[in-house]
Amino acid sequence: MKRHDLPARIRRLALALGACFALAAAPALAADAVAPPAAKPPAKAAPKPPAKTDSKAGETAGDKGGALLTRDELRQCVTEQERMKRETSDIVLAQAALSRDRAEIDRAAAGVETDRASVDRSDAAAVDAYNERAKGRARKAESYQAAAKSFNQRVDKLDADEKEYAKACTNRRYDEKDLEAIKAGK
């Protein structure tokens, strides 16, 4: 090795280490940037139609007056209520999966940070392996962000559906015979 080559080698090594640090720091900086918005709590199941019976004609008394729900309207309300219950249970399962994914990402980030200090920067293979782990963690974080966005859209849609259901069905009067017929499959 010639004496005048040493500074060039040091510059190349410094450049390579700088690139490694930049790649290693990117996921750590991205960890702050990819923090997901607070997950919305799962939507509550829609309330069942009121069950107080009026002694007059077998009607169910609601808080509002007005015309009785027709059998078709009541069938639509019951169907929508069942769909919202299924969607709520699906959302609860999706929220649990997102929580597990978030915990895995947090563990991976902690592992990457721990490995960062112990990486032999003179060993290109060790630096490459570290960078791959950091990139893998960043890919998981991006995937999580997309899933969280989709999850939040589902929750927002369910909230909107519940509001629409409340307007159309909650506290509306209906004939109990119609409800029994619908439950019997008629």
Mean pLDDT of 70-83: 93
Contact 58, 171 (CB under 8 A): no
Amino acid 49: pLDDT: 44
Mean pLDDT of 49-57: 42
User: Which residue segment(s) compose the domain that 68 sits in?
Assistant: 5-183
**If pLDDT is split at 50, 70 and 90, which confidence band does 67 have?**
confident
177 vs 24: which has the higher pLDDT? 177
Counting the structural domains of the chain, the total is 1
Angle between helices 71-118 and 176-183 (to 10 degrees): 60
Q: What is the pTM of this model?
A: 0.58
CA neighbours within 13 Å on the CB side: how many for 174? 26
Whether the per-residue pLDDT at 60 is higher than 90: the answer is no
| Encoded tokens for 144 | 């999580």
* CA pair distance 26, 138, nearest whole angstrom: 9
* CA pair distance 91, 99, nearest whole angstrom: 12
Residue whose entry in the numeric block shows the structure tokens 């750590």: 28
Whether the per-residue pLDDT at 103 is higher than 50: the answer is yes
Amino acid 153: pLDDT: 95
Mean pLDDT for the chain overall: 75
How many residues are listed for the chain in this entry? 186
60 vs 86: which has the higher pLDDT? 86
Whether the per-residue pLDDT at 99 is higher than 90: the answer is yes
